Amino acid sequence: MSAPSVNSLWTPAGPPPAESVSDLGPGFERWRVEVRGRVLAELIGFLRDLRIDGLDSWGVEDILVHYATGGKCLRSTLMYLGWLCGAEPDGAALRAAASLELLHAFALLQDDVMDDAVLRRGASAAHVRLAERHRRDHKAGSAVRFGASAATLLGDMCLVWAEQMLRDSGVEPAALARVWPGYDAMRIELAIGQFADLINDVRGRPDLDHILAIARAKSGNYTVRRPLELGAAMAGCDQDTLNILARFGTRVGEAFQLRDDLLGIFGSAALTGKPTDSDLGQHKATSVIVVALEFADPMVRDELSELMSRPVLDRPAIDRCRALVAASGAPAYIETMIADRVEAAMHALSESSLGIGLRVALAQMALLCTARQL
């Protein structure tokens, strides 16, 4: 089966300009669904060929499939689009891009342990499932500690397997050699961003620039910019193209994390598949909370500060914090920040020499990353 191309994203009457993506119709969605289907097939085949001795009885394969294949495959799709910016559709390149979903599974598994999250993709988080199995089998020791330790180890495995899948993808060695420096830098950047997030506490009153820097490192860059750069480097794109993708990816990545910050307070767990109380309950200094503390009127700011200074927030306190953040005007301000970054990303695309199909696909991916439902 040939790898998906972007050349069929419009009707014979001619493509819309890159700025007019909202009325494109089903063309892009068909293409994205096809790419995602191919990515999932590659991942499932890779995971089932692993045959992890001694772990089958613990439901590890189901956990891995859930974490690696349960999302929108944003990172793999963007890496493949980066490849298409300089090369023809290719099955090996798509397989290489699919490996980023295993890297994402690593990040999610360990993030859930660090945040003590109970949900992921609408089901129990891995450490919760493994702890429950420990209790059910009456194993010795702490079930909670076992679950956290086992999930962390699964994350470590995914980190190794992601590199293995990329290395064995079938992409030419010379092309892969252009990927490794950026790939290594991305993994370190992700870990540093996660570490910064661990020590990020609203009670320390960090400013918005500091919070955005953490967001870029922990999530924005590795979700959008780095996958695009990896694919483009693999394809041998020129420096001008790499620069355009970096500008585009940085802005969309920031907007992605800003949207995630809104969802972390005002989202629905039924839609996001993850808890919506953890940011407030853990005193995280997200962009929404920092803006709320900066722009709220004095009475709202004082009450919100007092609540967020408490060592533990119960349900009524979390609900009150949510109401105060809403009253501060912070959500509307963050929406404006998102719109500004998407506009800047579209402007970067308009200055590129990329074909119309690629510009349409990238613009649609920007909307998919940033217009997620509250």
Domains of the chain: 21-171 (1.10.600.10), 206-373 (1.10.600.10)
One-letter identity of residue 291: V
Q: Which amino acid is at 336?
A: T
How many Å apart are CA 71 and CA 147, to the nearest integer? 23
Q: Which position has the higher pLDDT, 235 or 9? A: 235
**Residue 372 reports pLDDT greater than 80:** no
pLDDT at 274: 64
* pLDDT, position 316: 92
Residue that the structure tokens 């298409």 belong to: 84
**Buried (b) or exposed (e) across 39-69, using 16+ Cβ within 10 A?**
bbebbbebbeeeeeeebeebebbebbbbbbb
**374 pLDDT above the threshold of 50:** no
Which range is least confidently modeled, 22-26, 111-115, 117-121, 183-187? 22-26
Q: What is the pLDDT of residue 267?
A: 82
Higher pLDDT, 207 or 256: 256
The pLDDT of residue 2: 63
Q: Residue 284's pLDDT is what?
A: 80
Judge contact between 317 and 310, C-beta under 8 A.
Answer: yes
Look at residue 239 in the predicted model and tell me its pLDDT: 96
Which carries the bigger pLDDT value, residue 373 or residue 53? 53
User: For residue 311, what pLDDT is reported?
Assistant: 86
| Mean pLDDT across the chain | 87
- Over 70: is that where the pLDDT of 22 sits? no
pLDDT at position 272? 65
Eight-state DSSP code of residue 118 = S
pLDDT at 282: 78
Q: How confident is the model at residue 5 (pLDDT cuts 50, 70, 90)?
A: low
123 pLDDT more than 90: no
Query: What is the pLDDT, as a whole number, of residue 12?
Result: 34
Q: What is the mean pLDDT of residues 196-217?
A: 80
Lowest mean pLDDT among 37-51, 150-164, 211-225, 324-338: 211-225
Is residue 171 predicted with pLDDT exceeding 50? yes
Mean of the pLDDT values across residues 163-188? Answer: 97
Q: Mean pLDDT over residues 314-329, rounded? A: 92
Give CA–CA dist 55/321, Å, rounded. Answer: 42
Most confident of 27-31, 149-153, 353-357: 149-153
- For residue 123, what are the β-bridge partners? 120
H or E stretch at 255: helix 239-266
